Amino acid sequence: MITAATNKANTQNAMDNWMLGPMVPGVKPSLNKDYWQELAAAWLISEAEARRRLCSNCEYYDNTPETKAEMEAIPLNSFDVGAGSRGFCTKLDFICHDIRVCLAWDRKDFMEEGNGSDGADD
């Protein structure tokens, strides 16, 4: 796991270079319209689709109990306030939050337990 100083530096990298946001997250569709429009434009998708892409459904978002236990060693900071639950971004190596997102987002495939299927038609 990383240190608090490394987490701070890597979070800043995600903000500066990967459009991490929104800075004041929320689930209401009227919030952060400019942020979502800019992100949608960068991804070449609609604003509605961009709003469906969150850290919580990103391939790199690790919120396992073991990782959450490790993150407890890094004190909460102002970026944690109102941002939902903490998770660890395994791509950019920083603590992210389930209702934020960045350009590094990649689809996490859903797998049902027990059958090994991702639910997609074969």
Of the chain, the percentage scoring pLDDT greater than 70 comes to 93
Q: What are the tens digits of pLDDT across the range 44-88?
A: 999 999 999 999 999 999 999 999 999 999 999 888 988 999 999
Task: Give pLDDT, residue 122.
Answer: 45
Gyration radius of the chain's alpha carbons: 15
Q: What are the tens digits of pLDDT across the range 32-43?
A: 999 999 999 999
Task: Give pLDDT, residue 75.
Answer: 93
3-state DSSP assignment of residue 9? helix
Nearest one of 91, 85, 84 to 64, comparing CA atoms: 85
> Confidence class of residue 111 from pLDDT cuts 50, 70 and 90?
confident
DSSP 105: -
What is d(CA 115, CA 78) in angstroms, rounded to the nearest whole number?
42
3-state DSSP assignment of residue 35? helix
